[in-house]
Amino acid sequence: MRVLVVGGAGYIGSHCVLESLRAGHEVVVLDDLSEGHREAISDVELIEGSTHDRKTLRAVFETNQFDAVFNLAASCSVPESVQIPAAYYHNNLAGTLNLVDAMLLAEVPILIHSSTAAVYGDPEETPIPETHLLRPVNPYGDSKRLVEETLTAISQRHPLKHVCLRYFNAAGADPSGLVGEDHAEEGHLIPLLLQCALGSRERFIIFGTDWDTPDGSCVRDFVHVTDIARAHLRALERIDTVAGESINLGSSAGASVREVVEAAKQITGVDFDVVEEGRRDGDPATLLASNEKAKQLLGWSPEHSEMSMIMETAWRWHRTHPTGYSSERTPLGEGGTRFGDLAVQLGFVTRDDVDRVLIEQERLEKVGRGRKMMGLCMVEMGMLSTTQLVEVLRHYEGMGS
């Protein structure tokens, strides 16, 4: 299929682009780059523009024949939505309406729309089912609620098949280490912890240690961003049977803030400072998704959402991109070291590992066994898994080497 990913240069959007390409779809991205990064989708056609620009939207659909649209363009900061609510209703509701108008004119029938657990507000039952009352407590959640209701009303009168995917806490990064989370003003738990491990943030603050939870800190439902991206593809595949549905995307497991802090320290090997302060207004003690509907309707279960996997992939991204996509990359070498340099940049091995392989290659040559490929040596020496080898080779060959 040919898919337009709106907001495709952002965190979740770029992972949707990557998984769509891996699934064999043709992808075009529309993004105004106010939050996204061109570097996140370097191999994909980018149309720079906003859903508020009707002329751009019309031109996008007139010059392309799309089968479906993934809409991830939204403002999504809860604190900011409280400060400037009008901007959130404008960006999230009005922007989506403009997009849908353009889709209907171009007769593009399928919309996979990003929604949020914030539509529920304070949970009255846990895990939260999709039948839970929608009582958002901030303009961000309320704007997303209005979008869902508006899409339902539109689809009753127009040929629009839509699904709303309600994300819980998206986290982690693509295992390749090339795509990850980069926000100008970071407010998400795991990136904040990893910034502490990198030394770019002095300390991490736990807000509230007297909640009614096993260890006194808040419990949240973390779902790997790759699992979220793959759910979009499942929804696309099954659109005829799931059209009109709103579906939770969460692990249904949950981890406390203290548990996430310990996971960060264990994965990074850094014992950074953690301080405790009082509760913040509006923080519920526990937020957990029921993902039974996703299992039943999409055949989807999170496969990468164990906290160790989330933290490991996030750390691989952050340690190789300490200042995000603007991080300078060491130029790749030539010949036999180029594969090793790329494996280092992807975060799979260290420079010391490459040096050890070079010594092993030399030894093998001296005993008459020829010069074995660096990648195979790394696998045999336990430095790379076969999956990681394939990932390095994919990028290596894509560079024309």
Active site residue 140: yes
Tell me the residue ranges of DSSP E strands in 141-235. 161-167, 169-171, 203-207, 219-220, 222-224
The whole-angstrom separation of Cα 379 and Cα 375 is 6
- Residue 235, judged by CB atoms within 10 A of its CB (0-12, 13-18, 19+), counts as buried
pLDDT in tens, 307-337: 999 999 999 999 888 889 987 554 545 445 6
Q: What is the pLDDT along the chain (401 residues), one digit of tens a residue?
A: 999 999 999 999 999 999 999 999 999 999 999 999 999 998 899 999 999 999 999 999 999 999 999 999 999 888 889 999 999 999 999 999 999 999 999 999 999 999 999 999 999 999 999 999 999 999 999 999 999 999 999 999 999 999 999 999 999 999 888 899 998 888 899 999 999 999 999 999 999 999 999 999 999 999 999 999 999 999 999 999 999 999 999 999 999 999 999 999 999 999 999 999 999 877 889 999 999 999 999 999 999 999 999 999 999 999 888 889 987 554 545 445 678 888 887 888 888 888 888 888 777 777 766 666 788 788 888 888 877 887 787 776 555 54
- pLDDT at position 201 is 93
pLDDT in tens, 90-148: 999 999 999 999 999 999 999 999 999 999 999 999 999 999 999 999 999 999 999 99
- pLDDT at position 336 is 52
- pLDDT at position 183 is 87
R_g over Cα of the chain: 22
Q: 3-class DSSP state for residue 55? A: helix
- pLDDT at position 401 is 41
SS3 content of the chain, % helix, strand, coil (to 5): 45, 15, 40
- Residue 273, judged by CB atoms within 10 A of its CB (0-12, 13-18, 19+), counts as exposed
Tokens of 373: 């490929």
- Tokens 């164990």 locate to 306
- pLDDT at position 61 is 97
Question: What are the beta bridge partners of residue 246?
Answer: 164
Catalytic residue among 89, 140, 325, 396: 140
> Which H or E run contains 237?
helix 225-237
- Residue 286, judged by CB atoms within 10 A of its CB (0-12, 13-18, 19+), counts as middle
> What architecture does CATH give domain 2-320?
3-Layer(aba) Sandwich (3.40)
